[in-house]
Structure 1
Amino acid sequence: MGCCNRRCGLIAGAVFGALVAILGGILIPVGNNIIEGTVEKEVVIEPGTTAYENWVSTGVSVYRQFWFLDVQNAQEVLQDGAIPVVLEKGPYTYRTRYIPKENITFHPNHTVSFTLPMGAIFEPSRSVGTEEDKVTSLNLGVAGAYSLVPKPLHGILENLIKSSNSSLFQNRTVGELLWGYQDPLLKDNVGLFSPYNGTYDGYYNVFDGKEDVSKVGFIDRWRGERVLQFWGDKYCDMINGTDASSFPPFLDKKKPLYFFSSDICRSVSAGFEQSLDLKGIEVYRYILQPNTLASPTVNPDNKCFCTNQETTNNCTLAGVLDISTCQGGKPIYISLAHFLGGSQSLLENVKGLNPSQEHHGTYLDVEPTTGFTLRFAKRIQVNMMYGPSNVITVLKKVKDYTIFPIVWMNETAALDDETADILKKELVSRIEMLDITQKALLGTGVAIFVICLISYFVVRRHQSKIV
């Protein structure tokens, strides 16, 4: 009777272990469904969700750091046609994106519209000097006029340059170059980011995700249009993805992320590079795709971004984007910092640049379950162009067209400790606890089942020998 009870107990233990293991197995899809349902609810853009508060007003401090390329040999360039030598000077740091979105309106088609106020506050503690620091840089007025005035009218431009006592280079303060000054040649306010404070980016219309969470944050319209009006081409004028502050949840490493940047007037994509730990939270790092600013000879899709055959060597130049069509005619060329990924000729025409992916590459660190961007660095360089002229005195020694770097910018933000703790408590710890519970139940159940089953056969074999 005792032996029978022992065998029955072992069989019951095996059954119990199997049930525990099955429970652990069942919890895996059930738990995943719970997590997915919670995340899909909280990433929707509507009042009361986790996403909404940070969407309306950025929860972390966003900074724009500026490094100027200070010209070291201005006179040699003018008198002898020497190659310009530049020395990086910075950072000069401003806090940005501190003003909440305005004119937020929800629409029946599951989109929400808004405008994004622009503002910049100088941060002395994060800067190497003041806004009154002087920089020797390309003369914005002369370079701008050279790009806009046809060669047959260079004689008129030469007279204007002389009468205004202008030259190819000028000495200006940091504040003047960024936010504007009265230019003696153009008789107008000139600045790389002028006007800025008090202006707006948008209107934007983005999908709120209520109807389809896979489209949450995707831009439906910008300035009332579903496509851009800058490039004259269906492909280049597409508005793809989000604004990069967040993406739809449940990222797939194999798929690129698409986002639109009004700073460069186009959509771009970023590919997965590696997984990283950010304050105890796993994030996926995405970097710009290598072919983003490739020449059309390498990436034919970029052909529609080439708008000037002459200055781009018949569209073979890589690494720069002429955005004058979306800058009100301002002849601005955008590149990555230090011409990262650009043609070798860009570095040969200006000395002192040392591009590196670590210091000059753009990246996004995105939490893969929610799609929230927790850290980023958007690094772009503002350039202008000048070239040879037989009439304009300050350009007579110039041998070829030069895309000249004026300043590069790093717009950056990172998850703070307080927000990281909240995210870990509300999301990461719950996922980890569920995962541990699932594995513990599955492992314990299998162990009990195996031990009881082995013990049952041992007891049974022992009893058969006695009989």
Structure 2
Amino acid sequence: MGCCNRSNGLLAGAVFGAVVAFLGGILIPVGNRIIKGTVEKEAVVEPGTTAYDTWVSAGANVYRQFWFFDVTNADEVLQNGTIPVVVQKGPYTYRTRYLPKENITFNPNETASFLLPLGAIFEPSMSVGPEEDNVTSLNLAVAGAYSIVPEQLLEIMIKLSKSSLFQHRTVKELLWGYTDPMLKGTVGLFAPYNGTYDGYYTVYTGKNNISKVGIIDRWKGNRSLDFWDDKYCNMINGTDASSFHPFVDKKEALYFFSSDICRSVSAGFKEIKDLKGIEVYRYTLLPSTLAAPNDNPDNACFCKNLKTTKNCTLAGVLDISSCQGGKPIYISLPHFLYGSPSLRENVLGLNPNEDHHYTFLDVEPTTGFTFRFAKRIQVNMMYGPSKHITVLKKVKDYTIFPIVWLNETAALDDETADMFKTELISRIEMLDITQKALLGTGVSIFVLCLIAYAVDRSFRNRIF
């Protein structure tokens, strides 16, 4: 009777182990579905969700750091046609994106519309000096009028106002505006800024299709741009880069639109990074983003001027004059990173460094939220030779001149990181541990009981 009881007990143990293992196996898909459903629900842009509060107002402090290119040989350039030499000066730091979205309206087609207010507050503690620091830079008015005003008229305007190709201005003036003696109006790289708006934006909330959450449906009321003479280049693709759909796959490209550069771009996965104990996927702009059309045919429609772009063979710059009222403004990565060598031969003192000058997004793959980013852009203007304009008579070739580069950056703060790890990561890890423990324990009990049962049966057969 004892042997029978032992055998029955071992069989019961094997059944129990199988049941435990089965529960562990069942818990894996069930648990994953629970996690997926919860994340997708909280990622929808609507009042009451986790995503909503961060969407309305940036959760982390966003800063714009500016580095100016100070010209050290302005007189030699004017008098002898010497190649300009610049020295980087900065950073001068401003807090931005501190104002919440305004005029938020939820639409029947599962979209939300809003205005994005713009503002900048100077941060002295994060800057090398005050806003009143002086910089010798390209004359924004002269360079801006060069491609618009007839040469003979521009020469008269320059002489009457006693302007020149270069000027001495404060950081504050160059960024946010000053009254120019030649144009008799306000001139500045970002003027007007404070008190203005970007948008209207209309974006998908993801309510019934989470894969579309955050994707821009319209900008300024339009589904496409009108800056470029091509349907492809005028496309508005992706989100604003602050977030993407949940459960990001590192194999996919992430698309986003930036009004700063008047176009959409894509970023590719580079590596996995650790951010305050949270695993994030780092995405970067590819070198092909600003490649010359002969290397990347998709960029052909971004080439606007055959002369200044050397028949569209110049890499590393984007002519955005069509969305800047005709002003000859060119966007690049800092120090002409990934740009044609001629860009750095026409202006000396530039030292591109990928670690310091590339743009990246650190995206948490489960939620799709961007937890850290660095958007790095250089603002350049163009001037060239002239037979009629005195200050340009010594210029030998068209020059795309660097004025300032900026790094707009933000990162997840410690408090939010701890909350995220507690509310999501720790629960996922606990569920994963429970799944594995049940599955492992159940299989172990099942196997051990079966082995013991087989040994017991063999022993009994030998005895009887």
TM-score, length-scaled by structure 1? 0.98
Q: State which of 340, 343, 348 in structure 1 corresponds to 2:345.
A: 348
Q: State how far apart, in whole Å, the 2-side matches of 1:418 and 1:92 are.
A: 27
Give the whole-Å Cα distance in 1 for the aligned partners of 2:163 and 2:361. Answer: 42
Q: Does 1:397 align with 2:401?
A: no
Residue of structure 1 equivalent to 2:257: 260
Matches within 5 A, 1:290-305: 290-305=287-302
Distance, in Å, in 2 between the alignment partners of 1:423 and 1:328 is 44
3-state SS of paired residue (1:170):
strand
2:290 partner SS: coil
Name the SS of the counterpart of 1:291 in structure 2: helix
Q: What is the alpha-carbon distance in structure 2 between the residues aligned to residue 338 and residue 290 of structure 1?
A: 14
How far 1:162 sits from its partner (Å)?
1.7
Letter in 2 for 1:156: L
Q: Is the 8 A contact 2:45 2:213 kept in 1?
A: yes
C-alpha distance after superposition, 1:394-423 (max 9, x if no partner): 111111111000000000000000111111
In structure 1, the residue matched to 2:275 is: 278
1:285-305 C-alpha deviation (Å, 9 max, x unpaired): 000122111111011111111
CA apart distance, 1:452: 1.3
Please say which of residues 15-24 and 36-45 is displaced more in the overlay: 15-24
Asked if the contact 2:145/2:327 (under 8 Å) is kept, the reply is no
Moved more, 287-296 or 250-259: 287-296
The match for 1:329 among 310, 326, 329 is 326
1:213 partnered with 2:220: no
Q: Shift of the alpha carbon at 1:198?
A: 0.4
Matches within 5 A, 1:30-41: 30-41=30-41
Q: 1:116 matched to which residue of 2?
A: 116
2:229 is aligned to 232
Amino acid corresponding to residue 38 of structure 1 in structure 2: T
- Which whole-Å deviations, capped at 9, do the CAs of 1:38-76 have from their partners, x for residues lacking one? 011100010000000010011110000000011111112
Does the alignment pair 1:142 with 2:110? Answer: no
**Which residue in the other structure is 2:200 paired with?**
203
CA deviation after TM superposition for structure 1 residue 347, in Å: 1.1
**Which residue number in structure 2 is paired with residue 444 of structure 1?**
441
Q: Deviation per CA, 1:87-127, whole angstroms, max 9, x where unpaired?
A: 11100000000010000000100000000000000000000
What amino acid is the match of 1:28? I
Report SS of the residue matched to 1:274: strand
Identity, % of aligned pairs?
77
Tell me which residue corresponds to 1:13: 13
Give me the whole-angstrom Cα distance separating, in 1, the residues matched to 2:230 and 2:71.
37
- In the aligned structure 2, how far is the partner of 1:341 from the partner of 1:83? 21
Deviation at 1:256, TM superposition (A): 0.3
Work out the CA distance in 2 between the residues paired with 1:440 and 1:69: 60
Q: Which residue of 2 aligns with 1:388?
A: 385
Quote how far apart the aligned CAs of 1:466 are: 2.2
Give 3-state SS (helix, strand or coil) of 2:289's partner.
Answer: coil
Does residue 1:159 correspond to 2:168, yes or no? no
Match of 1:413 among 395, 410, 413: 410
Give the letter aligned to residue 415 of structure 2: E
Residue 270 of structure 2 aligns to a residue whose secondary structure is strand
Q: Identify the match of residue 362 of structure 1 among 348, 354, 359.
A: 359
What is the CA-CA distance between 1:174 and the residue it aligns to? 0.1
Unaligned runs of 5+ in 1: none
2:461 to 456, 460, 464: 464
Matching residue within 313, 317, 323 for 1:316: 313
Offset, 1:392? 1.4
Q: Which residue of 1 aligns with 2:239?
A: 242
For 1:141, give the aligned amino acid. A
Given that 2:66 and 2:91 are in contact with CA atoms closer than 8 Å, whether structure 1 keeps it comes out as yes
- Please state whether the residue corresponding to 2:114 is helix, strand or coil: strand
Output the amino acid matched with 2:398. Answer: Y
Q: Which residue of 1 aligns with 2:429?
A: 432
How many angstroms apart in 2 are the aligned matches of 1:179 and 1:22? 66
2:90 equivalent to 1:93: no
User: Residue 189 of structure 1 corresponds to which residue in structure 2?
Assistant: 186
Write the letter of the residue equivalent to 1:367: E
What is the CA-CA distance between 1:178 and the residue it aligns to?
0.1
Measure, in 2, the Cα distance between the counterparts of 1:167 and 1:463.
108
**Cα distance in 2, alignment partners of residues 156 and 51 from structure 1:** 55
Moved more, 112-121 or 157-166: 157-166
Gaps of 5+ in 2: none
Report matched runs for 1:170-181 at 5 Å: 170-181=167-178
Matching residue's letter, 1:282? E
The 3-state SS of whatever aligns with 1:440 is helix
- Tell me the distance in 1 between the aligned counterparts of 2:456 and 2:73: 94
Residues 1:289 and 2:299 are matched in the alignment: no
Residue 464 of structure 1 deviates from its aligned partner by: 2.1
In 1, Cα distance between equivalents of 2:165 and 2:253:
42
CA distance in 1, matches of 2:5, 2:74: 99
Return the alpha-carbon distance in structure 2 between the equivalents of residues 388 and 328 of structure 1: 22
> Separation in 2 of the partners of 1:25 and 1:84?
69
Query: Which piece of structure 1 moves more, 4-13 or 133-142?
Result: 4-13
- How far has the Cα of 1:454 moved from its partner? 1.4
Matched length: 464
Q: CA RMSD in A?
A: 0.9
User: What secondary structure, in the 3-state scheme, does the structure 2 residue paired with 1:353 have?
Assistant: coil
Amino acid at match of 1:429: S
Q: State the distance in 1 between where 2:387 and 2:322 align.
A: 28
- TM-superposed CA distance for 1:317, in Å, is 0.6
2:65 and 2:406 in contact (8 A); partners too: yes
Amino acid at match of 1:315: C
Deviations 1:191-244 (A, max 9, x none): 000000000000000001112110000000000000001102100000000000
